[in-house]
Amino acid sequence: MEGSPEKTWLVLLAVVIPAALLAIPIVLMLNHQRRTRAFEEARRALGGSEIDAGPYRVRVDLTVGGKNQPPALCLSLGRATVGGETILLRRETARDRLGKSLGLNREVELGDDGFDAAIYIESDAPDAEVRALLAREEVRRAVVEIISLGYTDVAVSPPTAALLARRNNPKEVHLTPAAIRRVAALLAVIAPALPARAEAPRDEPIAILIARVVGVLVLLVAGFAGAPLASFAHARWPTFTLAPYWQGIPAAFGLFVVAVVAAALRFRGRSTSFRNLCWLAAALAYAVPSYTMAAAFTLNGALDGTPPVHRASRVLSSFFTTGKKPAHHLRLAPFPGSEGELELALEPDAYPHLAEGRTVTVKVATGALGWPWIQSIDPDR
């Protein structure tokens, strides 16, 4: 193989792939350092983190970002408010247009063809409040210009300020003093049209924060618990034919379709309906099959009252695995109804004394749903 193209490609892959994996974090770190340096230079040129824009003070921040959050340049004006919904103004995308064409998304249309085509209004605020905010042409032009400058969105009454413009992954051109002052001036044009709302308290009650954290944790546990529950149910009432899957998968798909249709009817009529439905459908695509199989295995075994049938078999192999999910792996010789050799992954302490070559009696129950399952495996004396 010496000098062959295959060896050359293997050498190249062995060098290029590790080099690329090492280069990616280095490039990201250099970009972050360059972005931070440009921002600090702009902040020094501006005289601090706050600048004057007419009668308003605009705060300028550069967030570092995290694992699932990109770095962002944020210009904010005023204190956070309560008593109303956030109004998010951003570039209209193909997804937004698809959501509207499907009859899911509902957006306030202002009758300004240029603005309506360029900007998507994402909000549950009353239509009258949105129309009042964007009634003046100079306000609409300011919003369009901010978005055309590469900013991700303009938010009215977000959780942190009265008015905010955000640019994800800002480039150096967005971090110059002139560019920042221009966006601050445009926010000052929008500010007089802001809806009258009370200022939010500086510190959110600890009970609300705890409730939010607990709610998120409950949703995460509920979303990811299906697969472990299905695995546990199958280990507790182990079936050994393909019938549960041939019957369970269509049932799970039917439940998935029903759930998505019900969610579409529930979500429709909001500006974020299509996006919310896509996220929910993705979660349901994971959760519904796993919970369906968990429930099916449990019902098939737990509700089965039929007497077991005894089947003679022999242990072909027996070994244990350790780690995150320890298990006892058994391979049994075919017996009537087993559809060939049977491979089982059982709890480590279920049948610890079943060695290879041992003859056994397999007690097989009919199953409440008609799926045969193994009640026990008893060694012959």
| Whole-number pLDDT of residue 136 | 93
Torsion angle in degrees (nearest 10) through CA of 30, 34, 35, 36: 100
CATH code for position 372: 2.40.50
- Among 183, 199, 215, identify where a domain stops: 199
For 266, other C-beta atoms within 10 Å of its C-beta total 12
| Whole-number pLDDT of residue 186 | 94
Q: What is the pLDDT along the chain (381 residues), one digit of tens a residue?
A: 455 666 667 766 777 777 777 777 777 777 777 777 777 777 777 777 888 888 888 888 877 665 566 778 888 888 777 667 889 999 999 999 999 898 888 889 898 889 999 999 998 888 999 999 999 999 999 999 999 999 999 998 877 778 999 988 888 788 788 888 999 999 999 999 888 766 655 555 566 667 767 777 777 777 778 888 888 888 888 888 888 888 888 999 999 999 999 989 888 888 888 888 998 898 888 888 888 999 999 999 999 888 999 988 888 888 888 877 788 888 888 888 877 888 887 777 777 777 888 888 888 999 999 899 888 888 876
| Whole-number pLDDT of residue 63 | 74
The structural domain count of the chain equals: 3
Residue with tokens 């896509």: 278
177-190 and 137-148 helices, crossing angle to 10° = 150
Taking a C-beta distance cutoff of 8 angstroms, is the pair 359, 312 a contact?
yes
160 and 253 inside one domain: no
| Whole-number pLDDT of residue 184 | 92
326 and 279 inside one domain: no
Residues contacting 241, CB < 8 A, separation 6+: 337, 338, 339, 371, 372
222 and 288 inside one domain: yes
156 and 251 inside one domain: no
Answer whether residue 9 is part of any domain: no
177 lies in which domain range?
20-199
Torsion angle in degrees (nearest 10) through CA of 126, 130, 131, 135: 160
- Among 166, 199, 232, identify where a domain stops: 199
Model's pTM, two decimal places?
0.70
- Among 267, 302, 337, identify where a domain stops: 302
Token pair belonging to 12? 């190249």
Strands of the 309-321 sheet, one edge to the other: 342-346, 327-332, 309-321, 359-365, 373-379
